[in-house]
Amino acid sequence: MTRLKYQMVIQWSDEDDCFLVGFPDFSGQQWRTHEETYEAAVIDGIEALESLRVAYEAAGDPLPEPTVCRAA
């Protein structure tokens, strides 16, 4: 798998009773996947990010620039 440097947000949703996973650097839907446990959300998030990469590549679209934090 390609080393992608995108933010992955994992947030608990009381309404959905699960962890939601999103990628702020990609426009469109706010949440890309969900899971019952944090650990499963991480795994699904990694898979969702790879799926995004494949979809952008198949469409011939460039990936968005990742937001990168700089350590002090």
Instruction: Give tens-digit pLDDT for 20-71.
Output: 999 999 988 889 999 999 999 999 999 999 999 999 999 999 999 999 888 8
Total-model pTM: 0.84
- Which H or E element spans position 13? strand 9-13
| 41 within 8 A of 33, measured Cβ to Cβ | yes
pLDDT of 28:
85
Q: What is the pLDDT of residue 16?
A: 95
CB distance 28 to 59 below 8 Å? no
Cβ contact 26:17 at 8 Å? no
Spatial strand order of the sheet with 33-35 comes to 9-13, 18-22, 33-35
Given pLDDT bands bounded at 50, 70 and 90, which one contains residue 3?
Answer: confident
